Structure 1
Amino acid sequence: MLVRDHLIASGVISGIWYYFTKSVPESLVFFLSGFIIDVDHFVDYYISHPFTLKYKKIRAACLTMDQKEVYILLHSFELVILAVIIGAIFFPERIYFVAVLGVVQHLMLDQVSNDTYPFSYFLIYRFLKGFRKESVFKSSRCKGFFPIKKQ
């Protein structure tokens, strides 16, 4: 799923969260955690490409997935489970779980919108498959979820 789409989805869902809770901090945390985990795509890019700060070049490489391995270490249901356990023990405040919910909605949207295999968003699965791109994604192009007409 494109970052643009995660921004839209996180904005809508955090707006719904605000409608029911009237909590600005929680809504902001939900919004940010709904797309900030995409930072791991930059890590993947820099592992297989020379360093650049040119966003268009990085974005094009991510859209065409022109790398052999896909690590996306933050895109992991195991990390969500670990975060819930750590939160239950050390951070029982609701805002921590709101952050985890933002990550969960991100992963769920990726799972249904990207052309992936059922276990692609499990880190252990990717590790066992050698992080090979073709073991994670069925196609070699990132797809958008919300169509936006070009004018």
Structure 2
Amino acid sequence: MKASRHVLAAIPLAAVVLAAGRPLSEACLAATASVLIDLDHLGDYLLCRGGWYGLKDFFSSCNEGRLNRLYLVLHAWEWIILGLCAALAWGFWPAGMVVLGMAWHLAFDQVGNRGIVTPGFYWITRRARVGFDAWKLYRDPAKIYA
């Protein structure tokens, strides 16, 4: 899903957090985390492209599937499970809001990208099993790399 859509999706998330009676600071934290999770695309870009070639190249490389490896270290349901357990164990609401934001983002990605990526894509262990090879993670790599 494109970054602009994640920014728009953060608005109803903040509204839900506020409606649940949480303070504005926590609503903002959840919304911000739901967008900033995409920073892991920058790491993939730099590793795969071997440097920075500008914002236009960054967005086209990511959106058009031109990266040969997809690590996306933050895009993983494993972190959601671990984060949720930690937040509940410590009773630390801000951590829970970060986890909520990340889960919100992943849910939108899971639905929005279901025709593009293989089942299980949003589990880092699944991506690791195929060596983070983009050709094995896209449903139809020929379409992506065309």
What TM-score bracket applies, with the shorter chain setting the length? 0.7 to 0.9
Task: Give 1:20 shift.
Answer: 3.8
Q: TM-score, normalised by structure 1?
A: 0.84
Flag as ranges the 4+ runs of structure 1 deviating above 4 A.
none
Identity %: 23
- Amino acid of the structure 2 residue aligned with 1:3: A
- Amino acid of the structure 2 residue aligned with 1:39: L
- Structure 2 matches for 1:28-67, cutoff 5 A? 28-52=28-52, 54-67=54-67
Task: Give 1:22 shift.
Answer: 5.5
Q: Structure 1: where are the runs of 5+ without partners?
A: 142-151
- Amino acid of the structure 2 residue aligned with 1:107: L
Q: Structure 2: where are the runs of 5+ without partners?
A: none
**CA distance in 2 between partners of 1:48 and 1:37 (Å):** 19
SS of residue paired to 2:46: helix
Task: Find the counterpart in structure 2 of residue 27 from structure 1.
Answer: 27
Task: Find the counterpart in structure 1 of residue 121 from structure 2.
Answer: 120
Task: Find the counterpart in structure 2 of residue 145 from structure 1.
Answer: none
- Structure 2 matches for 1:131-142, cutoff 5 A? 131-139=132-140, 141=144
Q: 1:20 to 1:58 in 2, by over 3 A?
A: same
CA-to-aligned-CA distance 1:58-99 (integer Å, 9 cap, x gap): 11111111121111011001111111222233x312222121
CA-to-aligned-CA distance 1:119-147 (integer Å, 9 cap, x gap): 10001111001111132222455xxxxxx
Please report the RMSD computed on the Cα atoms of aligned residues, expressed in angstroms: 1.7
- Amino acid of the structure 2 residue aligned with 1:116: V
2:85 corresponds to 1:85: yes
- Amino acid of the structure 1 residue aligned with 2:80: V
- Contact 2:87 2:93 (8 Å CA) reproduced: no
Aligned residues: 140
Which is richer in helix?
A: 2
Task: Give 1:42 shift.
Answer: 0.5
- Contact 2:30 2:97 (8 Å CA) reproduced: yes
- Amino acid of the structure 2 residue aligned with 1:84: L
